[in-house]
Amino acid sequence: MVTAAQPLAYPLSVRDLGPNWYATVMGTAVVAAAGAALPAHVPGLRGVLAGVWTLSLVLLLSLLAARAVHWARHRDRAVAHLLDPAVAPFYGCLAMALLAVGGGALTVGRDWIGLRAAVALDAVLFTAGTAVGLAAAVAVPYLMAVRHRVEPGQATPVWLLPLVAPMVSAAVGPQLVPHLPPGQARETLLLGCFALFGLSLLATLVMLPLVFARSLAGGPLPLTLTPTLFLVLGPLGQSTTAVGAFADVAPGAVPEPYSEGFGALAVLYGVPVMGFALLWFCLAAAHVLRARRNGMRFSMTWWSFTFPVGTCVTGCEALARHTGLVAYAGAAVLLSAVLAAAWGTAVAGTVRGLLRGELLAAPGAAPVVPRPVTARTTSGAVR
């Protein structure tokens, strides 16, 4: 292992830079998006959030460049990542990173780059992110079926990543609806986002029982993987955010009674789904506390605490808008504090790991999806 005395050994190489690094972009962008819609107005907050969004844009451009170099110079490793059942699902993170930064451009980025540039940037990133997300949603399950040879006992929340990407498109796409010409263009985009919502929701409903069953019958996840339990919050919070966004723009995009139907869906769907999200949040937090007591150390999986929690913040904000209930506004504020703490912790751990040369080591040295464990797994599990 590289020691602190050799801090530049790994950071200078992108040979083992995996697609999981896009989680840093997602987790940073969602901080800006979630904070922008908070009911509490804090002086100077918009400027801070715009700065965070700018950081996410810089991270995205840097990672896109690094991954391009990775594919050009280390194609063998890139192909190996795609054919590795532990790594391939993270290609969904590329789509979500593009979409999260694009959505943030219209939310807070326009304060710095202007509305016209924000719309153009969002349109480009939304188109690219949606295309990549749809490709990942098809390609990764296909590879899992014909090449990866996975077993139900290996199911982890990471398997949800490529299936959630279209839901992110569904949630951020409606922001572009008011900037399109009235009529066919607006209705097409809105209903297209609604189709992406259905695609992702149904695929998630197929996959989620495998993850839940693995969690109950297979024993606790290995320590390193335990934070990924928070990934289940992603489709829950993001779908609630999406139906709220549909209701926001439907009156100017689709005729009655469909526009009213979207308004009803925002509440009738969002309330029970966020109820289940609360249950899963408590369950995942209990597992994380157990893992921490048993010696769980920082790894890139800690970024699982950011984007999924951020989607729950935006989901609660959507419910607060459409129900008028203070309870949801308060929940959004509380979860945003959790998000800020999680993001700060993940950033600090990532910077420290990079300086020590630990985070860019070959992923084969510590498999993301180990052999199935039993309920008798001890504290000596994989770390």
Q: Which domains does the chain have, with CATH numbers?
A: 19-362 (1.50.10.150)
Three-state DSSP class for residue 298: coil
Over 90: is that where the pLDDT of 65 sits? Answer: yes
Q: What pLDDT, on the 0 to 100 scale, is given for residue 182?
A: 92
- C-alpha 317/C-alpha 35 separation (Å) is 10
Residue 5 has pLDDT above 60, yes or no: no
Is residue 60 within 8 A of residue 25, CB to CB? The reply is yes
pLDDT tens for 279-290 read 999 999 999 999
The predicted-structure confidence for 193-252, as pLDDT tens digits, reads as follows 999 999 999 999 999 998 888 888 778 889 999 999 999 999 999 999 999 999 999 998
Say what the pLDDT of residue 290 is.
Answer: 95
User: What is the reported pLDDT for 306?
Assistant: 97
CA 150, CA 155: separation in Å to the nearest integer? 8
**For residue 144, what pLDDT is reported?**
86
Which has more confidence, 367 or 355?
Answer: 355
Q: What is the pLDDT of residue 40?
A: 72
- What pLDDT was estimated at residue 368? 37
Q: Which residue has the tokens 């609660």?
A: 316
Alpha helices (H) in the chain, listed in sequence order: 22-36, 45-73, 75-82, 91-104, 110-113, 115-143, 161-172, 184-217, 233-249, 258-293, 307-323, 326-355
Q: What angle do CA 107, 112, 117 make, to 5 degrees?
A: 75
Q: Specify the pTM.
A: 0.88
Return the closest-CA partner of residue 37 out of 248, 299, 300.
Answer: 248
Portion of the chain with pLDDT greater than 70, in percent: 90
Neighbouring residues of 28: CB distance < 8 A, sequence distance ≥ 6: 52, 55, 56, 59, 306, 343, 347
